[in-house]
Amino acid sequence: MKKGLLPILLLIVAIMPCISQVSGAYVDNIKSLRLEVNGIWNSHPVMPMGGNNRVDISFDDLQHNYIRYTYHIIHCNADWQKSDLLESEYLEGFNDSPIDDYKSSMNTTMLYNHYKFSLPNENVKLLVSGNYMVEIYEDGYDEPVGCVCFSVLENKVGLTMDILSNTDIDAYKSHQQLEFSINYQSYNVNRPEEELYPVVYQNRHWDTHVEGLRPSYVRSNELIYNHNRSLIFDGGNEYRRFEILNEYVPTMHVENMSYHDPYYHATIMEDLPRFNYIYDQDQNGRYYVRNSDNYENATESDYFYTHFKLKSSKLEGGDVYLNGDLTYDRYIDEYKMEYDEAEGCYTIYLPLKQGSYNYQYVFLPDDGGNVSIIDTEGSFYQTENEYSIYVYHRPFGERYDHLVGFGTISNFLGTR
């Protein structure tokens, strides 16, 4: 890959600050960039400190021929800005190590090399808790080709959480309200209201995260966060699902499979905007790589050009994007849908590795407003959502944010 051929996209992402927590691939040839904790699929990107815990990072390179890649580890604060720690203060060993574990794809029409590595490893150990960003570089180039984010936890405080559908703005309609408390009884905190800093995510989305919260009231060794309007979220709807497991047989929500030399194509069934709650057992936007044989999934799963269609009138004042882990929850031109005036629908296609996928359609207004799913997916109190709370601690005089608490809760109102 020549430096002059790097996509403009990479140059744009490279100047974006860490605060956007931009995880994902930045160049066209890097696909299926993933992170798991202790080899567990769908695990939260939070690794307990110490022991034999690890994060596993993997990706495919469609260039197929061997490319030497390295990784660079950066310690970040709660807002994902680079912390003030020196490299020697947050890691022991060698940064910028090569990624030597790779295998070539087998029996696939789209050829690729599959790379993987784990942290910590024999070359590097992580010394402190908090947020970490791992940038991946092609050897000899100054701009990353991709990035993954995870956190290291020193579990010091307890969390109690609840999700209400009877919220402070409506009752059993379109919203959900999170309430929680932080218990620091067994942890020494001098000024808990100032030093403890919770950050809340819905379905792990950065664009709906909430920070800067103040406790509603304080009990002995406990901070209570109740009746806070910042903790009211759109309920949304369950994610749509499909599976592309076999190159010949259409599977879940796939209309047809076809071969157009040299690649296979999968056409997803036509979707419509949803104005009612539809219960489904989704995975809140995740995907799982596997083929119909469920064998050597990492290297024997092919890539299919996958076509999506949303039948809808044109939404003025913004654009519609395909969304989920399959797009790294990013709103860039690669994942923006085109509107077909003649057919009256939004369309997009992109190469996806065989597997089971969650997805949704979202609307991003031109005026810089918040992402919305009201006109594409609807919003309902029954929707099963996953809420995650990260509790950071910045003791007086410290130069970084410790991660001292983590908890997650899902509601199942739609099944009651």
At residue 15, the pLDDT reads 34
* Residue 42 zone, left/alpha/beta (φ > 0; ψ -120 to 50; rest): left
At residue 412, the pLDDT reads 66
Tokens, residue 226: 């109740």
Q: Are residues 142 and 26 in the same domain?
A: yes
The pTM of this model reads 0.92
Q: Are residues 176 and 244 in the same domain?
A: no
- Coil, strand or helix at 325: helix
d(CA 177, CA 169): 9
HSE value, Cβ hemisphere, 13 Å, CA-based, for 152 = 27
Q: Are residues 132 and 162 in the same domain?
A: no
Q: Are residues 137 and 59 in the same domain?
A: yes
Tell me which of 121, 153, 185 is where a domain ends.
153
At residue 175, the pLDDT reads 97
* CATH number of 351's domain: 2.60.40
397 occurs within a structural domain: yes
Q: Are residues 337 and 248 in the same domain?
A: yes
At residue 368, the pLDDT reads 86
Q: Are residues 245 and 231 in the same domain?
A: no
- Total structural domains within the chain: 3
Q: Are residues 288 and 335 in the same domain?
A: yes
Q: Are residues 47 and 141 in the same domain?
A: yes
Q: Are residues 208 and 271 in the same domain?
A: no
Residue 115: give the domain boundaries: 22-153
374 occurs within a structural domain: no
Q: Are residues 290 and 315 in the same domain?
A: yes
78 occurs within a structural domain: yes
Q: Are residues 270 and 181 in the same domain?
A: no
Strands (E), 195-324: 196-202, 217-219, 222-225, 232-234, 240-244, 254-260, 263-268, 287-289, 303-311, 318-323
Q: Are residues 291 and 267 in the same domain?
A: yes
Per residue of the chain (416 residues), give pLDDT as tens: 333 333 333 333 333 333 445 789 999 999 999 999 999 999 999 999 999 999 999 999 999 899 999 999 999 999 999 999 999 999 999 999 999 999 999 999 999 999 999 999 999 999 999 999 999 999 999 999 999 999 999 999 999 999 999 999 999 999 999 999 999 999 999 999 999 999 999 999 988 899 999 999 999 999 999 999 999 999 999 999 999 999 999 999 999 999 999 999 999 999 999 999 999 999 999 999 999 999 999 999 999 999 999 999 999 999 999 999 999 999 999 999 999 999 999 999 999 999 999 999 999 999 988 899 999 999 999 999 999 999 999 999 999 999 999 999 998 654 33
At residue 414, the pLDDT reads 40
Tell me which of 153, 183, 199 is where a domain ends.
153
d(CA 60, CA 102): 9
User: CB under 8 Å to 375, separation ≥6 — which residues?
Assistant: 273, 312, 315, 363
Ordered strands of the 303-311 beta sheet: 254-260, 263-268, 303-311, 345-353, 338-340
